[in-house]
Amino acid sequence: KNQVEQSPQSLIILEGKNCTLQCNYTVSPFSNLRWYKQDTGRGPVSLTIMTFSENTKSNGRYTATLDADTKQSSLHITASQLSDSASYICVVSVRNYGGSQGNLIFGKGTKLSVKP
Amino acid sequence: DSGVTQTPKHLITATGQRVTLRCSPRSGDLSVYWYQQSLDQGLQFLIQYYNGEERAKGNILERFSAQQFPDLHSELNLSSLELGDSALYFCASSGVGGGLLNTGELFFGEGSRLTVL
């Protein structure tokens, strides 16, 4: 069964500190992995996409890594800000040889709270 | 602004009633997805449509149904509502383009918050 597990479930950090969120997946055949940010009560927004051949990708203070061998990804947030308080969702896409979107497997998300 | 429009934003109704949620995808997107998010829970995939046809079905109750119209907007119908159906319902759309050209990014609407009393 295709699954995406995220840890920790929730995290509280002080403003200015760094943190790392984890995503482990058992999805096959793998197509890509996305990290989404969901502000409370809002729709998720894509932060970054990782394909099989990519190890690291940055988007401002967000840096995602992917280890396709161990099927693990991480999202590192540097110098956190109050606006980083949100849920971060890992979504893995299953490759569909029919050429369409493919199945999307969602993790349950990590709820990050950044305190002043 | 993701370009995906959902209406209504808020809806309060009673148990046993029926409601319809509407979604207009981004211009040009052929795929529409519906998700349910209960309080402090993750997103639960309900159903996907692609160019008017059902493409994938998740944990959608038999009391729920959906369709995608020729103009590509979609509606999610929820009937015989129960207290447990109270949730945020998100619609997302995705660009067309198969295989490696489709990076699979979903563009989410702002959601419809349903409260069943």
User: What does the pLDDT read at residue B79?
Assistant: 97
Contact B98 A93 (CB under 8 A): no
Contact partners, residue B13, CB within 8 Å, separation at least 6: B19, B81, B114, B115, B116, B117
Optimal mutation site among A92, A96, A104, interface B, most CBs of chain B within 10 A: A104
Contact partners, residue B23, CB within 8 Å, separation at least 6: B4, B5, B6, B32, B34, B73, B74, B75, B76, B91, B93, B109
Residue A105 pLDDT level (bands cut at 50, 70, 90): confident
Mean per-residue pLDDT of chain A:
90
A78 to chain B nearest CA, in Å? 24
Contact B105 A44 (CB under 8 A): no
Residue A84 pLDDT level (bands cut at 50, 70, 90): very high
Contact B108 A89 (CB under 8 A): no
Which residues of B are less than 8 Å from A91 in CB distance?
A: 106
Predicted confidence (pLDDT) at residue B96 exceeds the cutoff of 80: no
Question: Is the pLDDT higher at B99 or at B91?
Answer: B91
Q: What is the CA radius of gyration of chain B?
A: 14
Predicted confidence (pLDDT) at residue B56 exceeds the cutoff of 70: yes
Contact B102 A109 (CB under 8 A): no
Q: Which residue has the tokens 């309080």?
A: B39
Question: Is the pLDDT higher at B44 or at A7?
Answer: A7
* B110 Cβ under 8 Å from any chain A Cβ: yes
A25 near A3, Cβ under 8 Å? yes
In terms of Cα–Cα distance, which of B8, B78, B92, B18 is closest to B48? B92
Q: Which residue has the tokens 């729709």?
A: A43
* B86 Cβ under 8 Å from any chain A Cβ: no
Residue A101 pLDDT level (bands cut at 50, 70, 90): very low
User: What does the pLDDT read at residue A74?
Assistant: 97
Contact A108 B108 (CB under 8 A): no
Contact partners, residue B4, CB within 8 Å, separation at least 6: A43, B23, B24, B25, B26, B91, B92, B93, B107, B108, B109
In terms of Cα–Cα distance, which of A74, A61, A81 is closest to A110? A74
